[in-house]
A and B are shown apart, each in its own frame.
Chain A
């Protein structure tokens, strides 16, 4: 708390001093375009080490203080109703792996690790001017030194370290959670269906064949300099090009969602969710996981841990939770009767 706040104030003071400009020999002011400094530019080595150590200890203390949310006067816990929408979770995409069912079929699963996920703020329905209340949730812990004090306010209020990804989830009023509660992978259960949102891999400026899947033109038979072009972009009668015409441009690096992904397995020790199929984003990117909005899977998402799974509660879960159809490696090989 003290460490990076002190630093932010120091930085502000230095910036004010530097912005005055240096008067050169001719009496003119030479303004520097870039007067940004990095956080330890004006600090001695010892101070840098001290600050790093204190923030590490601070983080540990903060996480430890949030480990028992049920003892910290949590907000009223309600029962799940078919209409309630509960919070989601921020996870790290680790990679992919095959998984086999008891019938011998192979499926590909993505591993999502729920790393240091905390609820940061509650925004009521009236405040947000939306249809539902919002809960802001943060993901992976990162260094506090590269953001201003104003940006760190939200983390200070919640009493958690700075997070890399901060997203909002639309939540019904009976599913609100006190800021500072940790969220775990056990928030989801095997057999449930989820939607995963993430930023897709950026491909840069791409042509129309890769970006929109156009067929292009033949490679030979008289084509002059036309092999990957869009061809005609509109008709004669329209006399204009319609808005949203598919044309070359920047591809990727946008938020996209994969809907209706089955959860096959949950590892409570390492907080890993095994989700069916592929998920947008590169390895080690942060993704947003929530319960499906698809109506066909309403039956599968019945009676989830509501409003979330509390680790210090009565429920003691085993290390691995499997869906009924998953082949566990402790069993002998599959045989057909």
Chain B
């Protein structure tokens, strides 16, 4: 009964609102009109938003960057053959999803180590190479010594790749961590893996890193590196002088555009079909 009355009240509210402003009326039962002082200021609860977790998981597609073929005159058959090998390796050995800025623990087979395995924990600072030769570089500071190891994703010596913390950073390439204060590259070797829900978006760590005093290995303030993750404490004059090397025409250069959306679609379908088998 009460529900019906409320519904009737809502209906009257809406009609009045519609009558008052005949054009462009997006009246919802939530918005109040100045004339509706006498009617009950009833706002029904907001509609529950149903998140279909499975669909979200499917919608969020991640295609590893080494699958996307580089632009060139190579026969697509060569990439197809390479992709078959890559998928075959992925069926036997799990290569998780990770980005530059995630913290990984990698165990490799080492003939000269105790127990014949070697475990290294570090932050991924770079992902390079295409196809079977794809690599990623992990960096950590162990006993005040910075160590970087470049691993090949598809090498058979890798026993396990575990993602301890999955996150993205503001840049694609974190090579500037070599010139940053060591605290930003130190990670606990016995860190526990962070649990996260499947359907969440990958968190972007907007950390701005503080640098050691200059000289650096590269002039990171220059626009060609396009770094957003450094807190530059250089004087304004130096920052302005660095902008002299900017090339503002580069973003409009049409010959440099490489639209990979269609290629990615095809490869995504192919990989999914193969992995299901």
Bound together: yes
Which residues of A line the B interface, CB within 8 A?
A: 92, 94-95, 97-98, 100, 104, 106, 111, 113, 267, 270, 272, 283-284, 327, 329-337
Which of A104, A267, A272, A337 has a CB less than 8 Å from the CB of B156?
A104
Which of A283, A284, A336 has a CB less than 8 Å from the CB of B111?
A336
**Complex Cα gap A325–B170 (Å):** 43
Which of B75, B81, B92 has a CB less than 8 Å from the CB of A267?
B81
Closest Cβ of chain B: how far from A268's Cβ, in Å? 13
User: B156 and A95: CB pair below 8 A?
Assistant: no
User: A97 and B93: CB pair below 8 A?
Assistant: no
User: B92 and A331: CB pair below 8 A?
Assistant: yes
Which of B92, B152, B154 has most chain A Cβ within 10 Å?
A: B92
User: B156 and A270: CB pair below 8 A?
Assistant: no
Which of B155, B156, B157 has most chain A Cβ within 10 Å?
A: B156
**Complex Cα gap A284–B132 (Å):** 20
Which of B78, B133, B156, B159 has a CB less than 8 Å from the CB of A111?
B78
User: B132 and A98: CB pair below 8 A?
Assistant: yes
Contacts A97-B132, A283-B73, A284-B73 hold; do A333 and B156 have CB atoms under 8 A apart?
yes
- Nearest A residue to B80 via CB reads A270
A-B contact pairs, 20 of them (CB 8 A): A94-B74, A94-B77, A94-B78, A95-B78, A106-B155, A113-B75, A113-B77, A270-B77, A270-B81, A283-B72, A327-B156, A329-B85, A331-B92, A331-B156, A332-B92, A333-B156, A333-B157, A333-B158, A333-B159, A335-B109
Closest Cβ of chain B: how far from A17's Cβ, in Å? 41
Known contacts A329-B92, A331-B92; 12 further A-B pairs (Cβ under 8 A):
A92-B75, A94-B77, A94-B78, A97-B133, A98-B154, A111-B78, A283-B73, A327-B156, A329-B154, A334-B156, A335-B116, A336-B110
- Does B226 touch A at the CB level, under 8 Å? no
Within 8 A of A (CB), among B135-181: 152, 154-159
User: B157 and A94: CB pair below 8 A?
Assistant: no
**Complex Cα gap A94–B78 (Å):** 6
**Complex Cα gap A95–B73 (Å):** 10
User: B131 and A329: CB pair below 8 A?
Assistant: no
- CB neighbours (8 Å) of B88 from chain A are 329-330
User: B75 and A94: CB pair below 8 A?
Assistant: yes
User: B81 and A111: CB pair below 8 A?
Assistant: yes
- CB neighbours (8 Å) of A97 from chain B are 78, 82, 131-133
Closest Cβ of chain A: how far from B203's Cβ, in Å? 31
- CB neighbours (8 Å) of A284 from chain B are 73-75
User: B132 and A330: CB pair below 8 A?
Assistant: no
Contacts A329-B89, A329-B92, A330-B88 hold; do A104 and B109 have CB atoms under 8 A apart?
yes
How many residues on B have C-beta within 8 angstroms of the other chain's C-beta atoms? 27
**Complex Cα gap A336–B155 (Å):** 14
- CB neighbours (8 Å) of A100 from chain B are 155-156
- CB neighbours (8 Å) of A113 from chain B are 75, 77
Contacts A95-B74, A335-B116 hold; do A330 and B109 have CB atoms under 8 A apart?
no
**Complex Cα gap A37–B85 (Å):** 48
**Complex Cα gap A333–B161 (Å):** 12
- Nearest A residue to B87 via CB reads A329
Closest Cβ of chain B: how far from A304's Cβ, in Å? 24
- Nearest A residue to B116 via CB reads A336
- CB neighbours (8 Å) of B85 from chain A are 329
**Complex Cα gap A327–B144 (Å):** 38
- Nearest B residue to A282 via CB reads B73
- CB neighbours (8 Å) of A92 from chain B are 75
- CB neighbours (8 Å) of A337 from chain B are 116
Which of B74, B81, B109, B152 has a CB less than 8 Å from the CB of A333?
B109
- Nearest A residue to B159 via CB reads A333
User: B133 and A330: CB pair below 8 A?
Assistant: no
- Nearest B residue to A94 via CB reads B78
Which of B75, B92, B158 has most chain A Cβ within 10 Å?
A: B75
Closest Cβ of chain A: how far from B121's Cβ, in Å? 19
**Complex Cα gap A284–B77 (Å):** 11
Which of B74, B77, B109 has a CB less than 8 Å from the CB of A334?
B109
- CB neighbours (8 Å) of A329 from chain B are 85, 88-89, 92, 154
**Complex Cα gap A194–B169 (Å):** 49
A-B interface, 3 closest residue pairs, ranked by CB to CB distance from nearest: A329-B88, A336-B111, A94-B78
**Complex Cα gap A228–B198 (Å):** 61
- CB neighbours (8 Å) of A336 from chain B are 109-111, 116
